[in-house]
Amino acid sequence: MSFKNTSDWLNFDREHLWHPYTSMTEPLPCYPIVSAQGVRLTLADGNELIDGMSSWWAAIHGYNHPSLNAALIEQLQSMSHVMFGGLTHLPAVTLGKHLVELTAPPLEHVFLADSGSVAVEVAIKMAIQYWYAQGETNKQKLLTVRGGYHGDTLAGMSVCDPVNGMHNLFQGVLPQHFFAPRPECYADGTSNIDTLEILLSKHQDDIAAVIIEPIVQGAGGMHFYCAGYLQQLRQLCDKYSVLLILDEIATGFGRTGTLFAYEQAKIVPDILCLGKALTGGYMSLAATLTTTRVAQGISADTGVLMHGPTFMANPLACQVANASIELLLASPWKSRIAQIERQLMMQLSSCAQYPVVKQVRVKGAIGVVELHQAVDMKTMQADFVAQKVWIRPFNKLVYIMPPYIINESDLSRLTSTIHHILKHLTLNT
């Protein structure tokens, strides 16, 4: 089946294809992309958009990178896929070695999953199975914080914010877990972790693990918090005998200024979830890492980890992930992130002058402008495209997380466009 022109296939898209968080009766506009190169997305009409989103954190090297293209082409010549049950292959083993060497020493065992949501599912299963194998069969609950986001599958949704998150429609069918307040850090060095400790103390016999996004809460509101909170959390997990799961699907591979956000707190999780930037945005792949203690604990009495996706450890995805990691490590990524952070701070801070703006915050290669009221997604998205940039706001947030390779001029174009849109919004409010 072929389409006569762009309008033809766009019409089919609108009538038949579901996009993330959209309605089939009142779909949001979709902009037709025909190619991507570096930090630019080319529309069907020939216009180019500067990408401020890295395709939801993932395309850290930009698009159409020759090294990543070559890795895929080379792997395709030998095999595109083979089941991981009873078989193995060098791309997966090499990737496992990369991840074990890059992460903290206790994290020595790697489960290669399909996506970030699945990595969280696996992490939760690991935690519950670990305690079950130790005879602690009551430990089947999770403790987390409000404002979090951990994916769209059932277990992941159950630990997303139950009130202000995207999944409150499903509360009646989701497992019920424990929620502490969103992490807050204060000028005197203290935090609001006391409430979390009360929950841990009261329910430690039922809680298998605490799950949290370190330093940056992503899709739940782009909230940043201090490393001290994580340090205290690690101590509390040890004190009350629960595992600590860190969801670094959004923050891993340099986005916050360190290779992994947990490094800023100088702690080590019991289970670590990675994804998004793992393949440089080329293919869907994620990983759940854990310690020997947890891995051997699960395997006690011949127990097996009860998960096995059909496409886990896909050779194409593993090979491009290896190439992406090597490309990242060979690049001056730390200085690039630091430069992006400085420029975002300098150019976005003055957004606070607009009455519609509640707060401006920057962390690594993440710039966030939080408004007082939710944006009109349809209108604001069209305004950004008209200015030839790709920035996708949601709820009360206008934010950017550009590819690491972005230059100063293109980043300035993104930030100046945010100013332009917010100034216009202020004048019309």
- Domain termination site, one of 267, 296, 330: 330
The answer to whether residue 271 scores a pLDDT higher than 70 is: yes
The answer to whether residue 13 scores a pLDDT higher than 70 is: yes
Q: What is the mean predicted confidence (pLDDT) over 96-100?
A: 98
CATH of the domain at 409: 3.90.1150.10
pLDDT of residue 31: 97
For 267, residues 6+ apart whose C-beta sits below 8 A from its C-beta are 230, 231, 234, 244
CB of 205 within 8 A of CB of 213?
no
Amino acid at residue number 385: V
Does residue 169 form part of some domain?
yes
Closest CA relative to residue 316, chosen from 129, 79, 20: 79
- Domain termination site, one of 275, 310, 330: 330
Asked if residue 322 and residue 350 are part of one domain, the reply reads no
Q: What percent of the chain has pLDDT over 70?
A: 99
Q: How far apart are CA 289 and CA 99, in angstroms?
A: 8
Asked if residue 87 and residue 175 are part of one domain, the reply reads yes
Question: What's phi and psi for 157, nearest 5 deg?
Answer: -60, -35
Does residue 10 form part of some domain?
no
Single pTM value for the model: 0.97
Does residue 8 form part of some domain?
no
Question: Is 21 tagged catalytic?
Answer: yes
Question: Is 247 tagged catalytic?
Answer: yes
* Choice among 21, 205, 334, 358 that is catalytic: 21
Does residue 2 form part of some domain?
no
* Choice among 132, 149, 229, 262 that is catalytic: 149
Condensed to tens digits (0 to 9), the pLDDT of residues 368-410 reads: 999 999 999 999 999 999 999 999 999 999 999 999 999 999 9
Condensed to tens digits (0 to 9), the pLDDT of residues 17-64 reads: 999 988 999 888 999 999 999 999 999 999 999 999 999 999 999 999
* Choice among 114, 161, 247, 383 that is catalytic: 247
The answer to whether residue 164 scores a pLDDT higher than 80 is: no
Does residue 90 form part of some domain?
yes
Condensed to tens digits (0 to 9), the pLDDT of residues 306-348 reads: 999 999 999 999 999 999 999 999 999 999 999 999 999 999 9
Asked if residue 416 and residue 290 are part of one domain, the reply reads no
Question: Is 404 tagged catalytic?
Answer: no
Number of domains composing the chain: 2
pLDDT of residue 163: 78
pLDDT of residue 166: 67
* Choice among 125, 139, 141, 276 that is catalytic: 276
Asked if residue 323 and residue 311 are part of one domain, the reply reads yes
Structural domain harbouring 353: 31-64+333-427
Condensed to tens digits (0 to 9), the pLDDT of residues 283-310 reads: 999 999 999 999 999 988 778 999 999 9
pLDDT of residue 165: 66
Asked if residue 218 and residue 319 are part of one domain, the reply reads yes
Asked if residue 174 and residue 51 are part of one domain, the reply reads no
Asked if residue 351 and residue 252 are part of one domain, the reply reads no
Asked if residue 305 and residue 183 are part of one domain, the reply reads yes
Output the CA torsion sign for 304, 309, 314, 320. Answer: negative
- Domain termination site, one of 330, 365, 392: 330
Question: Is 378 tagged catalytic?
Answer: no
